[in-house]
Structure 1
Amino acid sequence: MSDTLELSPDDEAIPRALQWLEDIAEREGWSPATAFGLTLSLDEALANVVSYAFDPSTGSAAPAAITLECRRDGSLIEVELRDNGRAYDPTGNPPAALVTNLDDAEIGGHGIRLMRHYLHDLVYKREAGWNCLTLVMETAP
């Protein structure tokens, strides 16, 4: 089974996407841990896309677009986040170092660590001008 959602990178994108995923989780009867991990990971990934992937000054011919697809295959749930913004592989950089106090903490890089904590896998590819980030969650059979 597959569900899709098309979004514009605006202020409504994240709330719409999270509600969409929560509705799927409820319909499919996902465990609270599965729903929480996927929702938190999608929130993080989508916030980065909305905030950084699209630069109005580039004047791209194609309108800015984001597509989400949720698929289930046995014990795996995959949420694919596709956008036609600037190329960026969030899996290509190591997560920011852990620190012991807030004074030493730097902004950035912690979202990947968070997503990797909750997800079974995080896969990126660039395909025909689109970033494709797949969030993979393994559930109990």
Structure 2
Amino acid sequence: MQNWVKEIVVDSKFENVKTLTDFVESSLEPLNPSPKAIMQIGVAIDELFSNVVRYSGSSNMKLILNVNEDVLTAKLTFIDEGVAYDPLKKTDPDVSLPAEDREIGGLGIFLVKKIMDGVEYKRDGEKNVLTVVKKLG
């Protein structure tokens, strides 16, 4: 049973999305994940980290990558010390409406919920903890 964990902490600045993406991609590369899974993980990192930078007020964010090689699954946990916010409580946008008739915001987290195999949020003391799970096969 091969499980392993790696983590990285970055300042909450937009340019660090590449640092996070490179960290996760290089960590997962030896497992030969599907290109689609890697692309979807990249989208999730971009959306979730952008939200931390834009809205949380946290000066940095920790990303914990937890991999279970037996079932080829990656769990990414985003932790910040920003204002409490559970993005999963936001109602999914009505994507059947034309863009100009939709409420602003919410598309990113909606997309993440659609492309990941699991998404959960919890508030742990002063920290937001958002976890996404993706099968890599």
TM-score by length of 2: 0.87
Contact 2:14 2:50 in 1 (8 A): no
Contact 2:66 2:76 in 1 (8 A): yes
Matching of residue 91 in structure 1 with residue 94 in structure 2: no
Aligned positions of 1:35-74 closer than 5 A = 35-54=38-57, 64-73=59-68, 74=70
- Does 72-81 or 100-109 show the bigger shift? 100-109
Of all paired residues, the percent bearing the same amino acid is 25
Query: Quick one: which of 7, 10, 18 aligns to 1:7?
Result: 10
TM-fit CA distance, 1:83: 0.4
Contact 1:4 1:68 in 2 (8 A): yes
Matching of residue 133 in structure 1 with residue 130 in structure 2: yes
TM-score by length of 1: 0.85
TM-fit CA distance, 1:100: 4.2
Can you give the 5+ residue segments of structure 1 that lack an aligned partner in the other structure? 56-63
Contact 1:99 1:105 in 2 (8 A): no
